[in-house]
């Protein structure tokens, strides 16, 4: 059978990053093909190239055996390639059918179109009322509108970018039914995800990406989650850069039986989290994204307040009831994964951003902010942490990801925290800055502080951590020593609990099967 879509040696680089490196894959008619990979693995870039939204630097795209010479979204439409983006492009203040009409060629015929929308939505089990205003629709319903919009053009290849990240488990079931029906009719589907259980349930074949390269091509129905996880996070781990160090006698931070309900239906609830971090070590928290990392970071930092004071203990003092500012006063530093808008205020100057947390270093006198002190502090951070910025009055959103991360890390470390929690320290950070950030964390831990790193990059965790925990489905594993564990064990822990509605017994079953 001629493949519906074939990629040969696709490459694409952005300044400082090779987003796609010699990627080849092929999708048969009616096949549901998964593209698996962690954040930053190059999935989204690849999809944009296939859809024609971004030109590739090199390589060939073949559709039904014919090469696509000059690609673009208009060409895609002619070829029958449609894409449902992760972020919807709908106008809220007009109705569903009006939104769809905007993307249809030819004259606008709202009545006729509404009839067609009803037909398609009933046929594929995507109930949607064409006359409703988009602003009254839930996220799941909006996604249906996007899918219906694509289906109206009778696509031959449908691309879905992380479609379930915004859906409840029930909505995921419905979506899968629709996709299977489409596949039975011969429509090929490219399904981008990092959720192993979904891919194993839905897809016929999978291409796994890591760091912009293909690291595996398998049939996910017969591959274990552990194997898929390994392909995603890599197995060739670097040597540890760490020297052993003296640990503090008592943990600087301990979390004891922390439970926290999720704030929204797409979040993850935390259950019985137990964690300890001693001075002099780096503790890593591994896991596939969306398993409660964000919630855990917010609970420890104090952005969300845990139920009881004793749930979180900092240097022997219960802090579970205190907000982020009070915890910082007591020596808990935090560097969040979102640098713009959370770790820093985007339109503010660096010196104004210094004030955000470093105001406790004598920058406030009689209620007034001391701008000179804030400037001096900022200069010091810029120098000491080699932040590339034109000065303390550079706006935070003008800095590159790596430089802003250096600034935020520097700011937090200069507050001399006893415990530093860092979430995704090297997301969107170029290679040089990433190495610098990791070394800074190592140095900090070796000076007697406790460092906790939440990361989805297993390589990174193995490089810098003394101990590891694995988070999955809102629960934390036992502590694992870096020197005594291996990728297989971690992959199992990550994968075994990867599914949302599996209970503990089933997890144990999985473990036996995989071993």
Partner 1 sequence: MLFKVEARQEPSRKMALAAPLIATGLTVVISSLFFLSLGLNPFVTLYTFFVQPLTTMNGISEWLLKASPLILIACGLAVAFRANVWNIGAEGQLIMGAIAAAGVGLFSPFQESIFLLPLMVVCGMLAGAAWAAIPAFLKARMNTNEILVTLMLTYVATLILSYLVHGPWRDPDGFNFPQTALLPYAGMFEVFDYSYRLNTSIFFTVVAVILAWLFMERSFLGYKMAVGGVAPAAARFAGFKSSSSIWVGLLVSGATAGLAGMTEVSGPLGQLSSQISPGYGFAAIIVAFIGRLNAFGIVLGGLLLSLLYLGGETVQLSLGLPSSIALIFQGMLLFFLLASNFLINFRIRAIAVRAH
- With vertex at residue 171, the alpha carbon angle to CA 169 and CA 175, rounded to the nearest 5 degrees, is 115
Whichever of 323 and 383 has its CB closer to partner 1, that residue is 323
- d(CA 286, CA 484) in angstroms, rounded, equals 16
Whichever of 213 and 359 has its CB closer to partner 1, that residue is 359
- By the rule CB under 8 A, 294 interacts with partner 1: no
Whichever of 43 and 328 has its CB closer to partner 1, that residue is 328
Whichever of 77 and 118 has its CB closer to partner 1, that residue is 77
**Which of 276, 352, 414, 463 touches partner 1 (CB under 8 A)?**
352
The DSSP string of 148-187 is HHHHTT--SEEEEESGGGG--HHHHHHHHHHHHHHHHTT-
Contact 215, 42 (CB under 8 A): no
Query: Closest approach of Cβ 103 to partner 1, in Å?
Result: 16
- By the rule CB under 8 A, 338 interacts with partner 1: yes
**Which of 18, 110, 166, 364 touches partner 1 (CB under 8 A)?**
364
Give the burial class of 187: count Cβ atoms within 10 A of its Cβ; 0-12 exposed, 13-18 middle, 19 or more buried: buried
Q: Where are the beta strands (DSSP E) in 219-269?
A: 251-260
**Which of 216, 267, 318, 346 touches partner 1 (CB under 8 A)?**
346
Which whole-number Å values give the CA distances from 230 to 19, 193, 235, 367, in the listed order? 20, 15, 6, 53
Whichever of 220 and 343 has its CB closer to partner 1, that residue is 343
With CB under 8 A as the rule, give the number of residues binding partner 1: 34
Q: Is the dihedral of CA 233, 236, 239, 245 positive or negative?
A: positive
Query: Closest approach of Cβ 97 to partner 1, in Å?
Result: 25
- With vertex at residue 147, the alpha carbon angle to CA 143 and CA 153, rounded to the nearest 5 degrees, is 155
- By the rule CB under 8 A, 334 interacts with partner 1: yes
- By the rule CB under 8 A, 65 interacts with partner 1: no
**Which of 9, 58, 125, 347 touches partner 1 (CB under 8 A)?**
347
Whichever of 265 and 342 has its CB closer to partner 1, that residue is 342
- d(CA 168, CA 416) in angstroms, rounded, equals 42
**Which of 328, 418, 438, 507 touches partner 1 (CB under 8 A)?**
328
Q: What three-state secondary structure class fits 54? A: coil
- d(CA 455, CA 320) in angstroms, rounded, equals 23
**Which of 123, 326, 384, 388 touches partner 1 (CB under 8 A)?**
326
Query: Closest approach of Cβ 70 to partner 1, in Å?
Result: 10
Contact 22, 9 (CB under 8 A): yes
Window contacting partner 1 (CB under 8 A); options: 235-243, 393-401, 432-440, 444-452? 393-401
- By the rule CB under 8 A, 104 interacts with partner 1: no
Calculate the CA 64 to chain-centre distance: 33
Whichever of 307 and 506 has its CB closer to partner 1, that residue is 307
Residues that bind partner 1 in the complex, under the rule CB under 8 A: 74, 301-303, 323-328, 334, 336, 338, 341-348, 352, 355-357, 359, 364, 367-369, 371, 395, 397-398
């Amino acid at each position: 059978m001629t493949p519906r879509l074939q990629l040969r040696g696709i490459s694409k680089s952005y300044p400082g990053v090779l987003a796609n490196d010699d990627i080849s894959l092929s999708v048969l008619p009616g096949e549901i093909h998964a593209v698996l990979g962690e954040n930053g693995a190059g999935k989204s870039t690849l999809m944009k190239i296939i859809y024609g939204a971004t030109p590739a630097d090199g390589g060939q795209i073949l559709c039904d055996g014919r090469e696509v010479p000059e690609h673009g979204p208009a060409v895609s439409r002619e070829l029958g390639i449609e894409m449902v983006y992760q972020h919807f492009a709908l106008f809220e203040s007009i109705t569903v059918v009006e939104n769809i009409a905007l993307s249809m060629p030819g004259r606008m015929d709202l009545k006729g179109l509404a009839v067609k929308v009803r037909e398609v939505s009933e046929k594929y089990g995507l109930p949607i009322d064409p006359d409703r205003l988009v602003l009254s629709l839930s996220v799941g319903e909006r996604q249906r509108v996007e899918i219906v919009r694509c289906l109206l053009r009778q696509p031959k290849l449908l691309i879905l970018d992380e479609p379930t990240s915004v859906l409840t488990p029930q909505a995921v079931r419905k979506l899968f039914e629709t996709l299977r029906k489409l596949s039975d009719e011969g429509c090929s589907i490219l399904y981008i995800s990092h959720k192993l259980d979904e891919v194993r349930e839905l897809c016929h074949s999978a291409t796994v990406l890591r760091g912009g390269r293909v690291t595996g091509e398998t049939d996910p129905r017969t591959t274990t989650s552990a194997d898929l996880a390994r392909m995603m996070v890599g197995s060739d781990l670097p040597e540890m850069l760490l020297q052993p160090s003296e640990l503090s006698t008592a943990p600087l931070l301990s979390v004891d039986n922390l439970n926290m309900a999720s704030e929204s239906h797409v979040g993850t609830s935390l259950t019985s989290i137990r964690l300890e971090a001693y001075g002099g070590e780096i503790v890593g928290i591994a896991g596939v994204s969306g398993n409660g990392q964000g919630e855990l970071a917010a609970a420890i930092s104090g952005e969300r307040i845990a139920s009881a004071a004793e749930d979180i203990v900092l240097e022997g003092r219960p802090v579970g009831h205190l907000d982020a500012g009070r915890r910082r006063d007591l020596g808990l530093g935090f560097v969040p994964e979102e640098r713009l808008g959370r770790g820093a205020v985007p339109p503010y100057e660096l010196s104004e951003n210094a004030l955000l947390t470093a105001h406790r270093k004598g920058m406030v006198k009689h209620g007034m902010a001391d701008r000179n002190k804030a400037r001096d502090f900022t200069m010091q951070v810029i120098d000491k942490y080699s932040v590339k910025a034109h000065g303390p009055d550079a706006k935070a959103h003008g800095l590159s990801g790596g430089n802003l991360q250096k600034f935020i890390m520097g700011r937090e470390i200069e507050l001399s925290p006893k415990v530093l929690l860092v979430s995704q320290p090297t997301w969107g950070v170029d290679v040089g800055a990433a190495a610098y950030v990791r070394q800074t964390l190592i140095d900090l831990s070796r000076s007697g502080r406790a460092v906790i790193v939440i990361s989805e990059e297993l390589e990174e965790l193995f490089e810098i951590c003394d101990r590891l925990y694995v988070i999955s489905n809102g629960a934390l594993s036992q502590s694992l020593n870096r020197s005594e564990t291996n990728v297989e064990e971690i992959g199992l822990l990550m994968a075994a609990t990867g599914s949302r509605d599996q209970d503990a017994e089933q997890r144990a079953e999985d473990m036996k099967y995989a071993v």
